[in-house]
Amino acid sequence: MTEQNQQSLLLSKIAAYTEILVKDPSSTIFVSLAETYRKMGMLNDARQIISKGLELHSDFCPGYIVLARILCQLEDLDGSVEAFERALSIDEESLAALVGYARVKIILGDDIGARELLLSARHLSPADPVINKLLLSLPEEANDSEDSSDQDVVNDGEPCESKASLVSSTLAELYLAQGLTEKALDLYRQLSIQTPDDLSLRRRVKEVEGQIIKDQSASEDDEVAEQFMEKEADVVQSCTTEVEGINVDPVIETLNRWLLNIQEGRGNV
């Protein structure tokens, strides 16, 4: 799927989710709406939507998971931790919460905490490739036998360097998954300097640099839409709109008007 088609699909989802939310402001579809905004990189809008929804659904686990993802991308790691812990307090067997929280733990350097979360997740889903890959990327536990470490040296001429490279590469990929592209690029550049003969790292640096340029271009293209949203927010800030006999929150009405404007603009192209 091309990037343009993907963006069109996301916009279609936003339109559908917003229509549902307009008709039923108490619907839990706000989670899907906020997650779609997050995927589009509109993090502040996503945060606003999810916060509004959680005011009505304060015990809805998926809402806190999406909030945690958004906060992580906004580099509010403390807030992300708090949101993941809230999600797990509601549903301690939520795979999405366990794995997402483990990723944040890895970013924070808490490998022990990440391992505990991932082991709990693997107990629920033993064959999950993401869980197993993350577990393999973690340093071995301190209480592992010395014989095991010696065997690693025999099987691999540079075990420490290889392990460190694997952990760092995994961390860089985690940064990318969480939307922290600049941090991922810095880490890949450091790895490329440390191992100049590794062509895959050089290629990854170029790919991430290209992604940053593409994201910056997309951000410039979205400025008009964002400005429109700001103007609409000013108009509806002090009032509540009636839609089909139901009181609609001004934020939701703003989103609806913005989407209609996009659709009309696309129809005139």
pLDDT in tens, 176-193: 777 777 777 787 778 777
Distance CA 223, CA 229 (A): 10
Classify residue 150 as exposed, middle or buried by CB count within 10 Å of its CB (0-12, 13-18, 19+). exposed
Q: What does the pLDDT average to over 188-214?
A: 74
For residue 169, pLDDT over 90 is answered with no
Give which of 169, 219, 177 is closest to 195, Cα–Cα.
169
- 145: DSSP letter: -
- Which tokens go with 109? 């350097």
**Of 226 and 38, more confident:** 38
Q: What does the pLDDT average to over 248-265?
A: 55
Out of 95-99, 201-205, 231-235, 237-241, give the one with best mean pLDDT.
95-99
**Of 263 and 228, more confident:** 263
- Which tokens go with 43? 């993090």
Contact 233, 252 (CB under 8 A): no
- Which tokens go with 147? 């014989």
H runs (alpha helix) in 57-180: 61-73, 77-90, 95-108, 111-124, 129-137, 146-155, 159-177
pLDDT in tens, 12-43: 899 999 999 999 999 999 999 999 999 988 99
Structure confidence at residue 202 (pLDDT): 72
pTM exceeding 0.85: no
Distance CA 85, CA 68 (A): 9
Distance CA 264, CA 269 (A): 9
Q: Long-range contact list for 196-204, CB < 8 A, 24+ apart? A: 201/169, 204/172
Residue 82 pLDDT grade (very low, low, confident, very high; cuts 50, 70, 90): very high
Structure confidence at residue 269 (pLDDT): 45
pLDDT in tens, 37-77: 999 889 999 999 999 999 999 999 999 999 999 999 999 99
Distance CA 2, CA 10 (A): 12
Residue labelled with tokens 């350097």: 109
- 40: DSSP letter: T
Q: What stretch of H or E contains 264?
A: helix 250-267
